[in-house]
Structure formats: C-alpha cells, structure tokens
Structure 1
C-alpha cells in the first residue's frame, strides 16, 4: 500500500523499543474492544528467521510479523495434521489503517518466501492466525490469496444448550482401558471424515500412533473421554483435555483455566438423534463443576456439520487460521 514501508530485520527483535511497545499496546486496546476473550498480543521474539516490520507514512511502526517454519518428517504425529512444510506468520497489526499495514506486511512476507531455498514446494503452506472478530484483516488476506481454513472456537463456563438426555437405548460413561479398540476406531472414523476438508492426512502409521495416544489417555483417572454406547455398541465419544493437559491453549484466551476438546465424534449412521448433544452436555457439566472458565476447540471451516453444531452448543469463533497452498501461492 502507498506510504507504508516494509523492512526485514536481522538484528534483535524490537520488543523493548518504545515505539514498538506503543504498537503492541495499541493492538491490545483494539483487541479488547473487539473481543473480551482475546489475550494481549505478544511482543516480537527472537527467531532464526528475520522479523518483518512495517512503518506508516509518518515513520511510526504499524505492524510486525514473526516468521516461523515447521517441517514434519515421515513418522511424526504432526504429519497427520496438515502439509509437511508449514510457513507461519504471527502478525501484530495496529495504527489507524490496519488493513493497509497488513497488506504491506503480507507483501513483505511473500518476498521472503520467494528467497527461501527449500520448503515451498507442492507440499507446503503459508498460514497465519487472525482474531475472528477483527474484520479489518479480511480484505488484505483475500487479496493475497489466503482463505479461512480452521476456527478456534470458545465457550464460556455454563454457556450452551440446556442439559438433555440421550436416546433411551444409549448410555454415556467415562472410558476405561478396556475401551481402547472402541476409542481408536471412532477416532480413526473422524480422521477419515476430516480428510475431506484438507486438514487431516492419514499416514500408514496414523492408526498405530492413535492407539498409543489413546492408551496413555485411558490409564488416567478420570480419562476425560466420554463414550456413548447403544445396546453395548460404541457410537460416539467426546475427548477433553483438562487445563493440566491443555496448557498450550492458555495463551490464546484471556480467561482461564481453559480446557480443550480434541475430538467429538458420532458414528455416521447415528447422527441426528441427539447423541452428540448428550455427549457434549455430559462433558460440559463435568467441566463446569470443575470451575473451568472457558473451553476451546477447533473445527474446519469447510466442514458442513461442525460449525453449526458447535454454535448450537454455545461456542463462537475466537481465532481463524488463514492458509494458502502451496506457500508460494501467496500473492
């Protein structure tokens, strides 16, 4: 955008400089007005990649972007969750014209991606996470070829639909170690469904990796995995990570303690009968009784089932991850 100047810094991050503190503080004020659940933005941190900065026509900092690169090798669990080569940008965008500042920041990011020697091939992606209620970023992200891909949604304590009972022939209970085959089978069914939306890539070892993770979860007391059975047959589950095992989500939300729902599954032929609602209500009652202030979860934007369901359950978008594949499709 005219008047904005983008710079690539290879020196120490400017978090301690007064003008960059003012930038972060201004973004914090805007976020708090947009969404009370958003945390304060983080100051730029040391990285092996250069830091992108944008100044406005007056020479004042208007945006920063911390670059980060992740590469998942064959056999790693992360290979199931997205393309192997992931280029992330963490933007902090302020000033009176955040749309123009973000546009300039994304142009600078594209130039940096072009200069990378590897990691921008056909199995790569450029990604950033943006506050869902900050509409100032939508047009520049669209202009640069980014699309909304996943949503991190939040539910405050005791918010949602009234408690409901499952169908008469369905029981809900906490899973035990002997339920490992049932839990793994349902999780793999969810993986196969999510493959349609481009966020899951089942590998040859995904089932075995899933089995190991499930085995560790089921030996805990309680397991925090609720299993729905119809006449003894497993037909659904909800898997919660309580705050002690969901510390990674804490910095993403202002309120705490925070829990995270990793899986919520109902067998395809059993959907639409109230089983999912009953499962989530069971988990909500447990979390509310434990004083958990907010629950978070991810869903794919393109999934025609997840978004409407979670909104009915009391969740609403907090962060949206925007993505383009391959990374150099960024304009």
Structure 2
C-alpha cells in the first residue's frame, strides 16, 4: 500500500518505536483514493475509507462486506485525547454514510503495546478482533519430508491425493467456523473454493499431522517470497507468514499443533526468514495462549465495531 508521508520520523513514531522496536519506522497514512475522507484535527490526522468487499473474494472470509476503515496518525502530546477527537469525527461521518445493515463493520488497527489508547477505543464501543503477532526465527536443521513425534506423523500435503486435499480443505473450513465465534472470520459460500485453490497451488507450503493414518491437523505458510504484503507491518529483514493452523478438537492438547508449528518454523529458518507473522482471533480462549507459548507476541491489534455507526 502506498503511503503519504516521507521517511522523516515524527515524535509519535519515535514514541511507538520505543514501545515496540519491531514496529516500522514510519507510520504513515495511506495515499488517498477516490471517496476517502481526510481528517486534520488537533494532535491527530486520519483517513476514513469505505470499501465494498466482493463476497466471492478470498478476503471476504475475514472481512465484512461493507468495511469502514480508519487510518490514523496521533501527533500530539496526548494520544488518548487526540484519538477520542478523531473517533468522534469518524463516527459522525460514518453515520452520514449510512452503513449497510448486517454485514458491515468499522475497523481500526493500532500497535498493541500502545496501551494509552485502549480505554478510548473501549469507550467508543470497539472490541479487539484480531491480533497480528510476531516471532523471531530460530535456527535448526530442515524438517525434511516427514517428522515423527511418538505416533504422530507430520508430513507435507500431497495435493495430487484427493483424500489429502479434501481433508485439508475440511480442516481449513473448520478453522474458519471456529474463529467465527469470536468475530474474526466470516465463512462464505466462496471459502471452500479459495481453500482448495490455495492448498493445491504448486509449491504451496502445507503440512498435515497424521495419527494412526488419520489426518488430524493442518498448517499452511507463506514463505518470504510470497509474504511481502505482511512484511510491511514489521521492522524485519525477511518475513514469513503462518496463514492457517487447525487441529481437530479431539487432538488438542496432545502436541499436534506444536509439532506442526515446529516443522514450519524450521522450514522458515532454512529459507532465511528472520521473523514470522500470523493473525489470531483476539477473543479466542485457545489461540492467544497457544501462540504465546510458541514464542509469538502481539504487534498490532485490529479493533472492530458492529454495527459501524456508534
């Protein structure tokens, strides 16, 4: 995404980098597009963008179809007060825009460690939707074609095997339905098509966990060459993105997820990734604890409000 500011670091950016050295050095607004509304207020700049998401698009499985997004730069000495002013102005504009009923939301993404603004977001009716988490890479031997942990086998997906692919798609859709409970996903009629397309793509990084010849877990990764979109969110040299992890309910707590993630981490380290990013449902009682034990910690939090108008 094109950004509108120069490479000059502002006091706000310095403050955020002190809070979290892995944040990008420049926190700029996106370049304006037709229909954007720009706010210039005391201590804050913002850009309101309304996006209509195609229900057939891959993105639609994670986003409301009527997206109301706010991008912000808090430039004054009181970030909480500046954000309160900005959110109030945004609320007025959203109400005038008449958000679509039902499948719509207001979303705002901000550095997780900037807790000065948390109370302000809660006061405006926002709740955490997703967390972008980061982990520094470790080094170790490549995982090879398969790895065993007791009676658990972790192996690459064989996309030409119809049974493999069908089971992988089913697990992917299970993950979408699970996270939908917490408001972070929105399963669509198009979701199965996109899951199959991505899992079967030539060269896709996908592993399955198998116990007693039954596939019980799935993990997919975007290697650094495919994760440039994610790399913009972190001050790191070479970034991989862990896109999906799902373990069937009966296997949770048995080490299946840990074995899959260990395999992915070793493969990413072998590919030269310095950091790995992923998203997890902020309100899930399982996701946060699991990923924190695996070495991840919050970098960005996406806050959402439904319906958008407050």
Note the C-alpha offset of 1:79: 2.4
> After the TM superposition, which residues 156-305 of structure 1 pair with which residues of structure 2 at under 5 Å, given as runs?
156-158=136-138, 167-177=149-159, 178=161, 179-216=164-201, 219-220=202-203, 223-305=204-286
The two structures have a TM-score, normalised by structure 2, of 0.90
SS at match of 2:309: helix
Unaligned runs of 5+ in 2: none
CA contact (8 A) 2:57 2:190 kept: no
Residue matched to 1:312: 293
Is 1:64 paired with 2:49?
A: no
The Cα shift of 1:26 comes to 1.3
Q: Are the counterparts in 2 of residues 70 and 86 from structure 1 also a CA contact under 8 Å?
A: yes
- Give how far 1:75 is off: 2.5
Runs of 4+ in 1 over 4 A off after TM superposition: 13-16
CA RMSD, Structure 1 to Structure 2 (Å)? 2.1
Q: Is the 8 A contact 2:105 2:308 kept in 1?
A: yes
* Residue in 1 that maps onto 2:133: 153
Gaps of at least 5 residues in structure 1 are 1-12, 56-61
Mapped contact 1:149–1:301 kept (Cα < 8 A): yes
The farther-off stretch of 39-48 and 265-274 is 39-48
Residues 237-276 of structure 1, C-alpha deviations (whole Å, 9 max, x = no match): 2111011111111110011211111111111111111111
Aligned to 1:123: 103
Structure with higher helix content: 1
The answer as to whether partners of 1:264 and 1:276 remain within 8 angstroms in 2 is yes
Instruction: Give the equivalent residue in structure 2 for 1:5.
Output: none
Is the aligned partner of 1:84 residue 2:70?
Answer: no
Q: Assess if the C-alpha contact under 8 Å between 2:5 and 2:28 holds in 1.
A: no
For structure 1, which segment, 238-247 or 313-322, has the greater mean C-alpha deviation from structure 2 after superposition? 238-247
The structure 2 residue matched to 1:25, chosen from 10, 14, 21, is 10
Q: C-alpha displacement at 1:76, in angstroms?
A: 2.6
Say if 1:47 and 1:66, in contact at 8 Å, map to a contact too. Answer: no
Equivalent position of 1:36 in the other structure: 21
Residue aligned with 1:27, SS? helix
- Normalising by the residue count of structure 1, what TM-score does the alignment of the two structures yield? 0.84
* Residue 28 (structure 2) pairs with residue 47 (structure 1): no
- Could you give the per-residue CA deviations for residues 60-99 of structure 1, whole angstroms, max 9, x where no partner exists? xx21112222212332332221321110101111221111
Distance, in Å, in 1 between the alignment partners of 2:190 and 2:20 is: 40
Aligned residue pairs, count: 297
